[in-house]
């Protein structure tokens, strides 16, 4: 055992890279880059309105999905792990609805 600790360099032989896996990583990166590029085009060509905000939020959710599912490997975890992390975020959805309504009311009160 002591020998392993003293000469750890020689003990481990790395396995060759899995081409398929690495291709998938770059494909995900390409999707993230492409979605960001689309966001830029929309930011410069489209007038600011509710539709543009909806498109931006939709594209952000797409990017978030690819980061969590592929980069953070969530797609390949057990269902119970994935749901116990994703389900509690329902409170964030509620927070958004509650506070944005509140913000509108505050503006009404100010005017």
Partner 1 sequence: MATETVSMNRPKRGLWDGGQSPMNASYGKLMMWFFLLSDAFTFSALLVAYGMIRYSNLANETAVGGLGTYVPSQEAWPVPDMVFNAVPFLHGVHLPLVFVGIMTFILIMSSVTMVLAVEAGHRMDRRAVQKYLLWTIIGGITFLGCQAWEWSHFIAGSDTGISLADGTKFYGANLHVNEYGPQLFADLFFFITGFHGTHVLSGVVLLILIFFNTAVGTYDRRGHYEMVEKIGLYWHFVDLVWVFVFTFFYLI
| Site residues for partner 1 per CB under 8 A | 4-5, 8-9, 11-18, 21-22, 25-26, 29, 32-33, 36, 39-40, 43-44, 47-48, 53, 56-57, 59-60, 63-64, 67-68, 70-72, 77-78, 80-81, 84-85, 88-89, 91-92, 95-96, 99-100, 102-104, 106-107, 110
What is the H or E stretch that residue 95 is in?
A: helix 90-110
Q: Please state the closest distance from residue 35 (CB atom) to partner 1, in A.
A: 9
Q: Please state the closest distance from residue 36 (CB atom) to partner 1, in A.
A: 6
What tokens were used for 83? Answer: 């749901």
Q: Please state the closest distance from residue 78 (CB atom) to partner 1, in A.
A: 5
**Distance of alpha carbon 18 from alpha carbon 58, whole angstroms:** 33
Length of the chain: 111
């Amino acid at each position: 055992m002591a020998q392993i600790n003293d000469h750890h360099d020689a003990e481990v032989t790395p396995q060759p890279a899995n081409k398929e896996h690495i291709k998938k990583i770059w494909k995900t990166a390409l999707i993230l880059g492409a979605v960001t590029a689309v966001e830029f085009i929309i930011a410069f060509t489209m007038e600011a309105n509710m539709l543009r905000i909806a498109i931006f939020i939709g594209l952000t959710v797409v990017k978030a999905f690819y980061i969590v599912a592929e980069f953070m490997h969530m797609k390949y975890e057990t269902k119970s792990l994935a749901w116990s992390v994703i389900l509690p975020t329902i409170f964030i959805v509620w927070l958004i609805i509650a506070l944005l309504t509140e913000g509108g009311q505050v503006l009404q009160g100010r005017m």
